[in-house]
A and B are shown apart, each in its own frame.
Chain A
Amino acid sequence: MFDKLLEPGRHGLVDGRAGVLVRPVEGLAIATVTAGAKRIAAVADTLESRFGIKPPARPACRERDGVSLVGTGPGRWLVLASGQESAGFEAGLCCALDGLGAVTDQSDALLVLELAGPDVGRTLAKGVTLDLHASVFPTGSAAVTVVNHIGVTLWQTDDAPTYRLAVPRSYAGSFMDWLAGSAAEFGLETLS
């Protein structure tokens, strides 16, 4: 779907190296896991034993062996697993949790983008109303927020910095328009 949204290649300013690089992260199985107030701990334990990651109790992202747990609310996580088949992944989670918490497949609901480059911060600042300074939003931080009137989930994966954004599928086109416009002054390179 990504290539339909934005021509692969260079956009905006063409001379010099691109200030912002964007690439789609494909082949992800994605699910939300939600726990009732009384069972947050139990669900967290189950997730930890399954993925070997302690689910963050705050807006943060923890990653291991291609599986990421992103805290999106109290007792609510976004689970992303690369190279897994979505229905199977959801089913597996369901049985592991065995009714402790709710599992909902979102593999097709979200377009996950990876953003990097020297000007990624200045570009995101045009839409993100959060302080992304390293002292406030270091690697591993996550946030559910809104960009250009579009609800997104955002987390930082390394100190480059590199960010990942999960964008609702129906809004993906408008989001890419915003990104292309906001990064144009720095030059945007789309990779695949």
Chain B
Amino acid sequence: MRIPCPYCGSRDVQEFSYLGDANLRRPDHEAPEAAFHDYVYLRDNPAGPHRELWYHGSGCRNWLVVTRNTVTHDIAGARFAKEPT
């Protein structure tokens, strides 16, 4: 698998480490415990397109949001996580 890093270009998956669902948002610290439980533990885990976080640790050290199909592994695109959607 190759991931199109917006800075480095197409790179082998071995240069990246995977975190998971990129749609999760860390709750505000005033939020109830239940919100943190959902954030830390519950996942949609879809079969199909998935926005997910990858860290290009052996490259430009950027966190990326990669849109990848979990059934076909096709990658629709990738952007820097720090850039607003």
Which A positions have Cβ atoms within 8 angstroms of B?
A: 37, 58-59, 72-74, 76, 129-130, 143-146, 151
Contact with A along B25-55 (1 / 0, CB 8 A): 0000000000000000000000000000000
Q: Is the CB of A151 within 8 A of B58?
A: yes
Q: Chain B residues near A76: list those with CB within 8 A.
A: 60-61
A74 touches B80 (CB 8 A): yes
A76 vs B82: C-alpha distance when bound (angstroms): 15
B residues apposed to A, CB below 8 Å: 7-9, 11-12, 14-15, 58-62, 80, 82
Known: A59-B8, A59-B9. 18 other contacts (CB 8 A): A59-B60, A72-B60, A73-B59, A73-B60, A73-B61, A74-B7, A74-B80, A76-B60, A129-B12, A129-B14, A129-B15, A143-B8, A144-B8, A144-B59, A144-B60, A145-B11, A145-B15, A145-B59
With both chains docked as a complex, state the minimum distance between the C-beta of B81 and any C-beta of chain A, in angstroms: 12
Report the bound CA distance from A115 to B80 in whole Å. 33
Interface of B: prevailing SS: loop
Residues on the A chain within 8 Å of B7, using CB:
58-59, 73-74
CA distance A88 to B35 in the complex (A): 51
Q: CA A129 – CA B15 in complex, angstroms?
A: 9
CB-CB < 8 A to A143: which residues of B?
Answer: 8, 59
Contact status A129-B11, CB under 8 Å? yes
Per the bound structure, the CA–CA distance linking A37 and B83 in Å amounts to: 10
Cα–Cα, bound, A145→B8 (Å): 9
How many A-B residue pairs lie within 8 Å, measured between CB atoms? 38
Which chain A residues lie closer than 8 Å to B12 at the CB level? Answer: 129
Q: Which residues of A contact B61 (CB under 8 A)?
A: 73, 76
Q: How far is the CB of A21 from chain B (nearest CB, A)?
A: 26
Shortest B2–chain A CB gap in Å is: 9
- Report how far A59 CA is from B9 CA in the complex, Å: 9
Asked if residues A146 and B58 are in contact (CB atoms below 8 Å), the reply is: yes
Residues on B with beta carbons closer than 8 Å to the beta carbon of A151:
58
Give bound CA distance, A118 to B27, whole Å. 57
Chain B residue with the shortest CB-CB distance to A74: B7
Per the bound structure, the CA–CA distance linking A26 and B65 in Å amounts to 39
Among residues of A, the one whose C-beta sits closest to the C-beta of B61 is A73
How many angstroms between the C-alpha atoms of A76 and B61 in the bound complex? 10
Smallest CB separation, B78 vs chain A (Å):
13
Which residues of chain B are within 8 angstroms of A129 by Cβ–Cβ distance?
Answer: 11-12, 14-15
A37 B8 Cβ-Cβ under 8 A? no
Specify which of B11, B59, B82 is in contact with A37 (CB 8 Å cutoff).
Answer: B82
**How far in angstroms is the closest Cβ of chain B from A72?**
7
